[in-house]
């Protein structure tokens, strides 16, 4: 096993599946099975999910809503997604804990770093909801921050594409995939991996990132066992 403790970053849009909005239960079930497979292999798993399938603060701001208000609404959307994934995991007999950066004690624990680490050590999947708890920060940044706080070995960014390309592979058929790339090369080539705050946090704390296709069955387990999947951003 190559990675003992991982932070899995999932986008809210990924949970839509083929829908235009909301949550596709088939996607949830598939993700839960993937996560269970790596947990059973002895990997400690923490997760951060976006909320873009329900609400995006930045889009609300473009429509005239105050950005801060929109961002808080987006944080609540991430909690809805986190609760949905928690339910799917527990249906699969996977022990979980949901911790939120915004206190809502009826449905989740507050984020407490030491408690989160203890849950991981006991074999529970820990889901971090509500982003960082602050407006103007994305869930990518929340993922990087939580990964650093819990001393994860790697950030695994599950997307619809199988890695980082020279251009958007969904738009440019000539785009070429990188197997590995350095943080400096990403800066120089102005590639979009995650938002710059999140990316810089990982770089400054020497935390590698792997971008991979979460929708391909078995990819997550292959990654944690050390197989080359997706694109590794290294130093």
- Helix (H) or strand (E) segment spanning residue 182: strand 180-182
pLDDT at 57 over 90: no
pLDDT at 170 over 90: no
Contact 168/159 with Cβ under 8 angstroms?
A: no
Residue-range definition of the domain harbouring residue 34: 5-234
What average pLDDT does range 201-222 have in this prediction? 96
Contacts of 122 (CB under 8 A, 6+ apart): 95
- CATH code, domain with 70: 3.40.1160.10
Total count of domains within the chain: 1
Q: What is the pLDDT of residues 129-157, one digit of tens each?
A: 999 999 999 999 999 999 999 999 999 99
Strands (E), 101-144: 109-110, 125-129
Q: What is the pLDDT of residues 2-44, one digit of tens each?
A: 999 999 999 998 899 888 889 999 999 999 999 999 999 999 9
pLDDT at residue 62 in the model:
79
Percent of the chain at pLDDT exceeding 90 = 84
pLDDT at residue 20 in the model:
85
State the pTM of this model.
0.95
pLDDT confidence tier of residue 128, bands split at 50, 70 and 90 = very high
Q: What is the pLDDT of residues 65-121, one digit of tens each?
A: 899 999 999 999 999 999 999 999 999 999 999 999 999 999 999 999 999 999 999
pLDDT confidence tier of residue 56, bands split at 50, 70 and 90 = confident
DSSP 97: E
């Amino acid at each position: 096993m190559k990675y003992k403790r991982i932070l899995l970053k999932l986008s809210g849009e990924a949970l839509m599946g083929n829908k235009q909005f909301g949550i596709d239960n088939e996607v949830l079930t598939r993700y839960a099975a993937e996560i269970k497979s790596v947990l059973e292999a002895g990997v400690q798993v923490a997760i951060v999910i976006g909320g873009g399938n329900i609400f995006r603060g930045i889009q609300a701001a473009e429509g005239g809503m105050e950005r801060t208000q929109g961002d808080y609404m987006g944080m609540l959307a991430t909690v809805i997604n986190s609760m949905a994934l928690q339910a799917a995991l527990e249906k699969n007999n996977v022990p979980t804990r949901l911790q939120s950066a915004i206190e809502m004690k009826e449905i989740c624990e507050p984020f407490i770093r030491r408690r989160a680490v203890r849950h991981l050590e006991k074999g529970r999947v820990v889901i971090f909801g509500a982003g960082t708890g602050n407006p103007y920060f994305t869930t990518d940044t929340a993922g990087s921050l939580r990964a650093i706080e819990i001393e994860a070995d790697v950030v695994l960014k599950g997307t619809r594409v199988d890695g980082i390309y020279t251009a958007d592979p969904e738009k440019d058929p000539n785009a070429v995939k990188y197997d590995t790339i350095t943080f400096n090369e990403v800066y120089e080539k102005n590639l979009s991996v995650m938002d710059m705050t999140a990316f810089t946090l990982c770089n400054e704390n020497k935390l590698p990132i792997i971008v991979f296709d979460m929708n391909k069955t078995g990819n997550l387990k292959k990654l944690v066992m050390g197989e080359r999947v997706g694109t590794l951003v290294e130093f």
